[in-house]
Structure 1
Amino acid sequence: MNTFIRYASVGVMNTLAHWAVFGLMLFSGFSQSVSNVVAFGIAVTVSFFANAKWTFKAQATTYRYMVYVLFMGGMAFSVGWAADTLHANPIVTLVTFSVISLICGFIYSKLVVFREDK
Structure 2
Amino acid sequence: MKAIWKGFFSYSLVGLANTLIHWQIFFVLRVAAGLDQALSNFAAFCVAALFSSYVNALYTFEARVSATGYVLFLCVMGGLSYTVGYLGDRWHLHGLLTVTAFSLISLVVGFPLSRFLVFRGQRT
TM-score, with length taken from structure 2: 0.86
Q: Is the Cα–Cα contact under 8 Å of residues 49 and 60 in structure 1 kept in the other structure?
A: no
| Structure 2 CA distance for aligned equivalents of residues 64 and 49 of structure 1 | 14
Structure 1 residue aligned with 2:29: 25
- d(CA) in 2 for partners of 1:75 and 1:47? 17
> What are the ranges of 5 or more consecutive residues in structure 2 without an aligned counterpart?
1-5
Runs of 4+ in 1 over 4 A off after TM superposition: none
Q: What's the CA shift for 1:88?
A: 0.7
What is the alpha-carbon root mean square deviation over aligned residues? 1.6
The number of residue pairs the alignment matches comes to 116
* Residue matched to 2:19: 15
TM-score (norm 1): 0.90
Deviations 1:53-106 (A, max 9, x none): 211111124323212211211111111111111111110001101111011101
| Larger RCO, structures 1/2 (Cα 8 Å, 6+ apart) | 2
Q: Which structure 1 segments of 5+ residues have no match?
A: none
Q: Does 1:4 align with 2:13?
A: no
Match of 1:13, as an amino acid?
A: A
* Identical residues among aligned pairs (%): 37
